[in-house]
């Protein structure tokens, strides 16, 4: 059965076509600058990567070009072969705790939740509607980033704010990256050969979050109402004293929108390093003795260690710590710095094993009380699996 995984951005369309249940990738690609001019796309088929320039005015045109590529590369003989299309949706609120088949009611709810994910949910809706117009017979599903976190207990997802804010405005912890945390925790359970586990999954990229997962269920996560909570990230500040915001507004006259832009797009590694939001640039700066880059890395690592320690105590121990996503999979120095800070818990790094990028590997020593692993994430595959199971 052929399943298409889709991740639609406001001006992009990422896709991967699978033959299920074998999980064989038949075609993958990314379309960029949709609707903003000078658009182009790259596809990978039969091991060959191809880049093409093509004016794409909207997502429906992008899907039609995808169909052309599927047919011209003999990936499908007919659209009827594609039985399901799974869409990544960032915010499902507390309405969706699992992947669902999309109908008008589901689509309306995703649109309604756009206020909680203004950059992501509208783009997902655009992608869903476009896919429905092009793939008229395929079953469309919504795979929510927040669904995996719906098992978090109330004492962990509520804020100590006026209760009416939760009742009337749904102010609570929702988390994000749930599809990745689910994939990584399931893979770690496969490696350990059991499901009665306590895991700490660290999705560390430009956006970053850490989750505590017990017996396959998430019990806590670092992101909150929005993705700007928890860890220091590329341009997001993460946890701060909330009173900083009215204080700076009073001192500078900045509007709420300007403050929101500052804490989401002008903070994090970018702000402290005064150089870049990219961890690779930070590493280069550290190598050259740049004091701001050194400080940024120390703060970045400290916040990750804080959350790992918090969840270790909350779960009363841990079987494995998993590093995933762009930095987690590839930043050798960051993994080293984090694990070296955990020695008081009896966790020790195997430096030789850690000297790798993007490969699944055990990177803790044999005498470490907790195993530490690199587990490359695959959100597209998780979307395909969930869609296949529904079908």
Residues 6+ apart with CB under 8 A from 232: 208, 238, 268, 269, 272, 299, 300, 303
Determine whether 145 is an active site residue.
yes
Question: How crowded is residue 103: how many other Cβ atoms within 10 Å of its Cβ?
Answer: 9
Residue 178, token pair as written in the block: 């749930």
Let me know: does 133 contact 60? Beta carbons within 8 Å: yes
Let me know: does 82 contact 137? Beta carbons within 8 Å: no
Listed residue (307, 286, 361) closest to 329, CA to CA: 361
Q: How far is residue 255's CA from residue 259's CA, in Å, rounded to a whole number?
A: 6
Looking at residue 89, the DSSP 8-state letter turns out to be E
Q: How far is residue 176's CA from residue 147's CA, in Å, rounded to a whole number?
A: 9
53 DSSP β-pair partners: 40
Alpha helix (H) ranges present in 241-331? 244-252, 256-265, 268-273, 279-287, 291-314, 325-330
Catalytic residue among 77, 94, 97, 145: 145
* Residue keyed to tokens 């989750």: 211
Looking at residue 221, the DSSP 8-state letter turns out to be E
Residues involved in catalysis? 145
């Amino acid at each position: 059965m052929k399943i298409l995984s889709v991740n639609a951005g406001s001006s992009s369309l990422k896709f991967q076509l699978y033959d299920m249940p074998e999980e064989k990738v038949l075609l993958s690609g990314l379309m960029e600058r949709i609707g903003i001019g000078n658009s182009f796309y790259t596809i990978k088929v039969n091991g060959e990567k191809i880049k093409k320039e093509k004016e794409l005015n909207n997502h429906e045109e992008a899907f039609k070009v995808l169909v052309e590529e599927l047919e011209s590369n003999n990936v499908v003989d007919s659209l009827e072969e594609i039985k399901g299309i799974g869409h990544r949706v960032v915010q499902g609120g507390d309405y969706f705790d699992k992947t669902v088949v999309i109908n008008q009611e589901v689509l309306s709810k995703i649109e309604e939740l756009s206020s909680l994910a203004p950059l992501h949910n509208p783009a997902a809706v655009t992608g869903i509607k476009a896919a429905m117009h092009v793939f008229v017979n395929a079953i469309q599903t919504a795979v929510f980033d927040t669904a995996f976190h719906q098992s978090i207990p109330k004492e962990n997802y509520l804020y100590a704010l006026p209760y009416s804010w939760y009742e009337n405005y749904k102010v609570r912890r929702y988390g994000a990256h749930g599809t990745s945390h689910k994939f990584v925790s399931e893979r770690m359970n496969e490696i350990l050969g059991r499901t009665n586990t306590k895991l700490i999954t660290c999705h560390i990229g430009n956006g970053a979050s850490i989750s505590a997962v017990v017996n396959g269920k998430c019990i806590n996560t670092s992101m909150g109402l929005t993705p700007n909570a928890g860890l220091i990230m590329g341009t997001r500040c993460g946890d701060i004293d909330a009173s900083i915001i009215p204080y700076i507004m009073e001192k500078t006259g900045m509007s709420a929108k300007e403050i929101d832009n500052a804490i989401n797009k002008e903070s994090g590694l970018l702000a402290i390093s005064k150089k870049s939001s990219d961890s690779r640039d930070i590493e280069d700066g550290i190598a050259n003795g740049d004091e701001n880059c050194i400080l940024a890395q120390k703060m970045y690592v400290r916040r990750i260690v804080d959350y790992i320690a918090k969840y270790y105590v909350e779960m009363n121990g841990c079987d494995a710590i998993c590093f995933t996503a762009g930095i987690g999979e590839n930043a050798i120095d960051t993994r080293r710095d984090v694990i070296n800070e955990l020695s008081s818990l009896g966790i020790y790094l195997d430096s030789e094993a850690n000297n790798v990028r993007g490969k699944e590997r055990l990177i803790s020593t044999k005498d470490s009380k907790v195993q530490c692993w690199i587990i490359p994430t695959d959100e597209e595959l998780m979307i395909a699996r969930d869609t296949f199971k529904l079908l």
